[in-house]
Structures are given as structure tokens and as C-alpha cells.
Amino acid sequence: MKTVNKIPIWFMRQAGRYLPEYMKIRSKNPDFLKLCFNPELASEISLQPLKRFDLDFIILFSDILVIPHALGQEVKFLKNHGPLLNCISSKKDLNYMSLNKSLDKISNTFETIKILNAKKSTKNLIGFCGGPFTVLNYMIEGGTSKTHSKIKTFIKKKKEEAADIIKIITEISIEYLKKQIQSGANYIQVFESWAGLLDREEYIDFIIKPNQQISGEIRGFSKHTKIIHFPRGSRNNYKIFAEEVNCDVLSLDQTYPKELPTFLREKGITVQGNLDPQELIKEGEQIEKKTKEVLEKFKKNNHIFNLSHGILPETKISNIAKVIKVVRAYETS
């Protein structure tokens, strides 16, 4: 007799610009950071995808750059540009007073989670933060970068200074996640989106060690909270990440060692991912085909279906619905 197992599904950036109901709110709230810190609206946006789709997870509507804001760095989001931060070159450039005062600046996020916790019913609620190196990257570059030349130079020429700032980011991120858990999040995800920029030695210092600390502290704080790590772009370093960082779920992009799914299965780590979001903007039967390929690829693993990055703004709602339909119809034995 075949046992049918339901594969959980959610999408990174599932609450975002591809949804007209989100854009309606956004048009009336041009200051993105203020929107993130408005509990009523942020919780409404977080729930919008679940009103449309059969999803298993609510992801908090916020941004990884609330941490630089909390540390006293100026953070703006400009239309058709993205995030803009005043560049820093040392921790002295931050207006960082204390951990508690910094957390007070972003405390409305915890109110958003409390609202979501009261409304989540049987759904899982995911809180998150940016990985320390990824946050540092934006802080040094002053926003999104194509070359990442400033951060690469900074960690080579000012390694001790970089380590000092990473330490501050890691400490506040841990407390930020703890308060998210206290407010009702039962999963947390650490988005280390720029892990792929680093070679092996730098990867150990700036990716492995800070994420180890976050995971270890959260595990000690709440044994029931599931921890998802996403060291995007890690390629062959995915395996060492899984060996060294204690996580329940490892989220994957498109490029990883062939043997990794078997390794993760043996370690009891769930795979999350990894449909390319570019596939969601294509037409025809390609979406169904690519979705089934992901399902087949991880059919021997515990698997949470997701993307290899966030939903693109130009994605059609019908294409999201199509992917969910394929996942729901898929049978594992």
C-alpha cells in the first residue's frame, strides 16, 4: 500500500510585488522601512499569499536590512534602485549605543509576529534575519553591488575591523531572532545571500563561524524552533556548511555537489528548494516539467518545496498556482 506524503511548500518573497494587493498597499506607503515597522500592515501583507494559495508557511514581511537600521546606519529604499545605505568603513561609523536600544528601534517587528501568531492557525510561521556577512556586505557597499569590490577589499585589508562588525551583527541578530521566537515564530531562516563571494578560508571565518554561533544560541534558547539556513551560492562549500552548522533545514540554490542530497539525508537535514525563479516567468508546460524535476530530485529526502531565490516581481499569479497544484498532486511513497 502506497503512503502519500504531503510535501510542504512556501516561496521566498511570497509576499511581494507580484501581488496586486501588495502593490495597492505599497502605493499608499512609499516608505518601505516604515511599512516593515507597521504591525497592522506588515501582518496583512504577510498573510496575503495564504489568502490566494494553498501554502504551508507564513513568512514574516520585513527585510534583512532592519539590522543596519537598528545599529544606527541610515537605510533607505529608493524606487527603481533598491536599498541605499550610507557607507561605513569601521564600527566607529555606526551610531551603536547598546543592544537593547538597538532592538527597541525594530521592536514593532515583534508586534507583527504576535498578530500573525494569533492568526496562523495550523500554519507554520517563519521569522528571519540576514546572515552576518550578507548584512555586512550591504553595510560596506552601501547597497546592492554587481562587483562587491568594497566588501572584498575590506575583509582582506581590514580583517580585524570586519570581524568586529560581524561580531556586533551576529550578537544583535541572535537577540532579534530570540525575540521573534518569543513572539510566536516557530521556524527561523538565516538568509546568507552572499555566501558565494568567499573562498574557503574566508568562508570559514565569515560564513561558518557566525552561522554556527547563531544556530548554537538559538538551539540552546529554544529546542522546538526549527532552524533554516540558506548560504546561497556556496557551491562546494554547502557540504562543509552542513557539517559544521547545526541546522534542521538547508536551503539550496541551483549549484551544489551531486552527493549533497544523500549526505543531508544521512544527517537528517531537510532539503529546502530549489526551483529557479526564472522558470516562473516562462510560459507553457515548462513550469510543470521543472517543478516535477525538483520533486524527483529530492524524493528520497525530507523536502520543503521552495525556490532557489525569491519570486520575481514580473511573475504571473497563475504560474504560482500551477506550481502549487503540481506539488500537491505529487506522491511519494
How would DSSP label each residue in 76-112?
A: EEETTTEEEE---SSGGGS----HHHHHHTTTHHHHH
pLDDT of residue 236: 96
Q: Give CA–CA dist 68/176, Å, rounded.
A: 12
pLDDT digits (tens, 9 = 90+) for 244-272: 999 999 999 999 999 999 999 999 999 99
Q: How far apart are the first and last CA of the chain?
A: 9
Q: Does residue 12 lie in a domain region?
A: no
Q: pLDDT grade, residue 3 (50/70/90)?
A: very low
Q: Does residue 193 lie in a domain region?
A: yes
Q: What CATH number is associated with residue 316? A: 3.20.20.210
Q: Does residue 8 lie in a domain region?
A: no
What proportion of the chain, given as a percentage, has pLDDT over 90?
93
Q: Does residue 3 lie in a domain region?
A: no
pLDDT digits (tens, 9 = 90+) for 67-117: 999 999 999 999 888 899 998 989 999 988 899 999 999 999 999 999 999
Domain count along the chain: 1
Q: pLDDT grade, residue 36 (50/70/90)?
A: very high
Structural domain harbouring 56: 20-329
Q: Does residue 6 lie in a domain region?
A: no
pLDDT of residue 1: 36
Q: Does residue 212 lie in a domain region?
A: yes
pLDDT of residue 243: 98
Tell me the mean pLDDT in the region 208-234.
98
Beta bridge partners of 266: none
Q: Does residue 15 lie in a domain region?
A: no
Is residue 191 within a helix (H) or strand (E), and if so which, with residue range?
strand 187-191
pLDDT digits (tens, 9 = 90+) for 122-156: 999 999 999 999 999 999 999 999 999 999 999 99
Q: Average pLDDT of the chain? A: 96
The answer, as to whether pTM is greater than 0.75, is yes
Q: Give CA–CA dist 215/303, Å, rounded.
A: 20
For residues 219 and 227, the answer to whether their CB atoms sit within 8 Å is yes
